[in-house]
Amino acid sequence: MSIDAGTIAPAAPVGPEAAQPETVQAKRSHGTLPISLATIAAIVAGWSLASAYGIVSPLFLPSPLTVLKAIYNVAINGFVDSTLAQHTLASLLRIFAALAASVAIGIPAGLAIGTSRIGKGILDPVVEFLRPLPPLAYLPLIIIWIGIGEASKITVIALAMLPPIILSTAAGVKSAPADFTNAARSFGAGRLQILLHVILPGAIPSILTGTRIALGAGWSTLVAAELVAASQGLGFMIQSAAQFLVTDIVIAGIIVIAAIAFLLEILARLLERWFVPWAAHR
Amino acid sequence: MSVLSLQSVSLAFPVDRDSRRTRLVLDGITLHLASDEFIAVIGRSGSGKTSLLNLAAGFLKPTSGRISVDGEDIGGPGADRAVVFQDDALYPWLNARDNVAFPLKLRGVAKQERRRRAGELLAKVGLESAGDKNIWELSGGMRQRVGIARALASEPRFLLLDEPLGALDALTRARLQQFLLNVWSESRTGALLITHSIEEAMLLATRVVVLAPNPGRIVADIPAGFGRQLLAGKPLQEIKDSPEYRRLHDGLTGLIHTDSEEAA
Ligand SMILES: Nc1ncnc2c1ncn2[C@@H]1O[C@H](COP(=O)(O)OP(=O)(O)OP(=O)(O)O)[C@@H](O)[C@H]1O
Ligand SMILES: [Mg+2]
């Protein structure tokens, strides 16, 4: 997954009309909700019929009920030595460890790109090199370098999350009106004060958007990384199940992964609404 | 008493990014603002008014000439010259009170004291109950008053105002003009007001400076006493009907009008 810088830049809405498209969109998404629900129902129904009438072998496509039972079973009894909760927890811990690392590195790096010519000169080529690379391309190298343990998985995920966080931070810095920094300077603010009290808060909406994109990128990298080398985690669970042709658990794993990605997205949006209510009013 | 001085100040901007050719925007500006004065600068759009204010604020460096406060060159922006911006430049992540308290925070004033002083200043601009409001909940006129309170919080020696009332409706504008006049006379800070409105300049300023474009230069620097009359309680209509007022108004209109014909 590659993230285009252009998709990040307009993240922070500008102008008084910024609030309007949101309400229009909200209305429209409300309007499509019944249709979307009907689509999902149709897919599940088709799936049920296909497996009930043996159109597709249950080995390839177990029925929805079987998958539901599989989810229940993995939740209670576990699969390959861990319960569903443990697999999920292992995956989430990796994601959040990687998120912490990439935020800790990415925000200062983005501030450096956005505020200083030297910082931009140094960091731009690094980011532009990293950004289009599929994380799985460098995973083997990372494993050679730092082994097959947790550290390599977290590193790969963090590297996948880094570019969107760096680029969105830099974009947020540049979106700050010159008047904001000028005002602070005319009240006697120093460089560090401007960075902490004006540039950083002004960039937070954009940083949060970048974090949301990063979570998406990180989540897809995580599952892939676990497919390659892990003893716990949702990706590992799917990989093991596939080796034994336990298709219901494969599908159960996919559904859990999708559900968690969906929940993370909603969480990120809620955080945006709580922490930067003003972003919609710029 | 302090004096903010621009001496033979010129400013040139590069014509475009790559060429080294420049365009002269301000030419030989000499202007002294004492801390008991209220100078209004009028001129056509593009005559360099904002550039002049940005120079005085220290946001721009002059191409030639000196800018000083009490004889000392300004190195850049400083807390002795607070700016009120045309589009308020209030921080949306802070509520009204914290915006006003922002200059105090920069100075390390303790939180309790900041709140108290910001409360006082909000009361002064007639917004005592709006402290907890978000910036986007305020009307344009309220925002400008918060912006003025914020500038006053830094206790500057000079207030630099770039068309702060430009975007307001006539009624709000008239109210805020009266308000600005009061603030100026109470706070005893020098004021440099950029405005498009001849009337506003005449009613507020102790001196009206006219800037002609291409390159921006001072073509008139005229004392005016109407603000002081207003402060003394003379009715607005009576002032506007007076022959001196009419004469100055016609004179200034003529000056600005000649400009636009020249440029056309
Ligand atoms: N950063 C800049 N780079 C190049 N040219 C500039 C820059 N800022 C202003 N100018 C030019 O300088 C001239 C004066 O601009 P300035 O903004 O000072 O005018 P103004 O009198 O404030 O106009 P207005 O009444 O429209 O605000 C204009 O011709 C403008 O195009
Ligand atoms: Mg201007």
Dihedral, A169, A170, A171, A175 alpha carbons, nearest 10: 100
Contact A226, A91 (CB under 8 A): yes
A105-143 pLDDT, tens digit each: 999 999 999 999 999 999 999 999 988 998 888 888 998
A60-87 pLDDT, tens digit each: 888 888 899 999 988 888 888 889 999 9
Instruction: Retrieve residue A2's tokens.
Output: 């590659």
User: Would the CB atoms of B154 and A187 count as touching at under 8 Å?
Assistant: yes
- CB-nearest to B79 from A187, A197, A282 is A187
Residues making up chain B, counted from first to last: 264
What pLDDT, on a 0 to 100 scale, did the predictor assign at position B264?
40
Specify the DSSP element, H or E, that contains A9.
none
Name the pLDDT band for A13 (thresholds 50, 70, 90): very low
Contact B218, B62 (CB under 8 A): no
Taking the centre of ligand 1 as the mean of its atom positions, its distance from the CA of residue B78, in whole angstroms, is 22
How large is the greatest C-alpha to C-alpha distance in chain B, in angstroms?
Answer: 57
Name the pLDDT band for A30 (thresholds 50, 70, 90): low
What pLDDT, on a 0 to 100 scale, did the predictor assign at position B152?
92
Give the Cβ contact number of residue B130 at 10 Å: 18
Overall pTM surpassing 0.90 (yes/no) = no
Q: Which of B27-31, B56-60, B257-261 has the lowest mean pLDDT?
A: B257-261
Specify the DSSP element, H or E, that contains B223.
strand B217-223
What pLDDT, on a 0 to 100 scale, did the predictor assign at position A10?
37
Instruction: Retrieve residue B97's tokens.
Output: 């009170």
CA–CA distance, B160 with B54 (Å, rounded to integer)? 9
Examine the pLDDT at A25 and tell me if it is beyond 80.
no
Cis peptide before B164, with omega less than 30 degrees from 0? no
Q: Is A66 helix (H, G, I), strand (E, B) or coil?
A: helix
Summary count for chain A: helices (H), strands (E): 12, 0
Looking at ligand 1, which residue's alpha carbon is closest to its atom 2? B13
What pLDDT, on a 0 to 100 scale, did the predictor assign at position B226?
92
Q: What distances in angstroms separate CA A82 from CA A74, A203, A255, one per listed residue?
A: 8, 41, 18
CA–CA distance, B194 with B163 (Å, rounded to integer)? 5
> What value does the mean pLDDT take over residues B242-255?
92
Examine the pLDDT at B124 and tell me if it is beyond 80.
yes
CA–CA distance, B103 with A186 (Å, rounded to integer)? 9
What pLDDT, on a 0 to 100 scale, did the predictor assign at position B217?
92
> Most A CBs within 10 Å: which of B54, B93, B107, B148, as the mutation test of the A interface?
B93
Domain boundaries, chain B: 3-80+156-263
Name the pLDDT band for B19 (thresholds 50, 70, 90): confident
A79 phi and psi angles, rounded to 5 deg: -145, 140
ipTM of the complex: 0.88
Taking the centre of ligand 2 as the mean of its atom positions, its distance from the CA of residue A187, in whole angstroms, is 21
Closest of B47, B72, B55, B50 to residue B11, by C-alpha: B55
- CB-nearest to B93 from A182, A185, A201 is A201
DSSP state of B74: P
The letter for the amino acid at B118 is A
Examine the pLDDT at A229 and tell me if it is beyond 80.
no
Taking the centre of ligand 1 as the mean of its atom positions, its distance from the CA of residue B51, in whole angstroms, is 6
Residue carrying structure tokens 């589009």: B87
What pLDDT, on a 0 to 100 scale, did the predictor assign at position A182?
94
Name the pLDDT band for A8 (thresholds 50, 70, 90): very low
- CA B152 to mean position of chain CA atoms: 13
Q: Is B205 helix (H, G, I), strand (E, B) or coil?
A: coil
DSSP state of A197: I
Please tell me which residue, B83 or A23, carries the higher pLDDT value: B83
Domains of chain A: 63-279 (1.10.3720.10)
Examine the pLDDT at A26 and tell me if it is beyond 70.
no
User: Would the CB atoms of A186 and B78 count as touching at under 8 Å?
Assistant: yes
CA–CA distance, B248 with B210 (Å, rounded to integer)? 12
Any B CB within 8 A of A18 CB: no
CA–CA distance, B166 with B162 (Å, rounded to integer)? 9
Contact B158, B191 (CB under 8 A): yes
Examine the pLDDT at A24 and tell me if it is beyond 70.
no
Provide the pairing of β-strand B38-43 with B190-194: parallel
Please tell me which residue, B17 or A264, carries the higher pLDDT value: A264
Residue B44 near ligand 1, beta carbon < 6 Å = no
Please compute, for residue B84, the number of CA atoms within 13 A of its CA located in the half-sphere on the CB side. Answer: 28
Name the pLDDT band for B116 (thresholds 50, 70, 90): very high
What pLDDT, on a 0 to 100 scale, did the predictor assign at position A282?
67
B21-46 pLDDT, tens digit each: 889 999 999 999 999 999 999 998 88
What pLDDT, on a 0 to 100 scale, did the predictor assign at position B104?
96
Residue carrying structure tokens 């990120």: A268
Give the number of the atom of ligand 1 that is nearest the alpha carbon of residue B23: 5
Residue carrying structure tokens 């000083």: B68
Closest of B178, B174, B151 to residue B162, by C-alpha: B151
Instruction: Give residues with Cβ within 8 angstroms of A250, minimum separation 6.
Output: A238, A241, A242
Name the pLDDT band for A18 (thresholds 50, 70, 90): very low
Name the pLDDT band for A7 (thresholds 50, 70, 90): very low
Contact A245, A77 (CB under 8 A): no
A197 phi and psi angles, rounded to 5 deg: -100, -15
Examine the pLDDT at B141 and tell me if it is beyond 70.
yes
Residue B13 near ligand 1, beta carbon < 6 Å = yes
Mutate to test the pocket of ligand 1, among B9, B10, B11, B13 (most ligand atoms within 8 A of CB): B13
> What value does the mean pLDDT take over residues B131-158?
92
Q: Is A147 helix (H, G, I), strand (E, B) or coil?
A: coil
Examine the pLDDT at A179 and tell me if it is beyond 70.
yes
Contact B200, B177 (CB under 8 A): yes
The three-state (H, E, C) secondary structure of A163-177, written as one string: HHHHHHHHHHHHCCC
Examine the pLDDT at B1 and tell me if it is beyond 90.
no
Distance, first Cα to last Cα, chain B: 43
CA–CA distance, A80 with A75 (Å, rounded to integer)? 12
User: Would the CB atoms of B106 and A185 count as touching at under 8 Å?
Assistant: no
DSSP B86-144: TT----TTS-HHHHHHHHHHHTT--HHHHHHHHHHHHHHTT-GGGTTS-GGGS-HHHHH
Examine the pLDDT at B6 and tell me if it is beyond 70.
yes
User: Would the CB atoms of B59 and A182 count as touching at under 8 Å?
Assistant: yes
Name the pLDDT band for A29 (thresholds 50, 70, 90): low
Give the number of the atom of ligand 1 that is nearest the alpha carbon of residue B43: 21
Examine the pLDDT at A281 and tell me if it is beyond 80.
no
Question: DSSP strand E in A99-154: where?
Answer: none
> By CB neighbour count within 10 A (0-12 exposed, 13-18 middle, 19+ buried), where does B132 fall?
exposed
Q: What is the CATH number of domain B3-80+156-263?
A: 3.40.50.300
CA–CA distance, A166 with A210 (Å, rounded to integer)? 8
Give the Cβ contact number of residue B115 at 10 Å: 17
Dihedral, B105, B107, B112, B113 alpha carbons, nearest 10: -130
Instruction: Retrieve residue A165's tokens.
Output: 């966080």
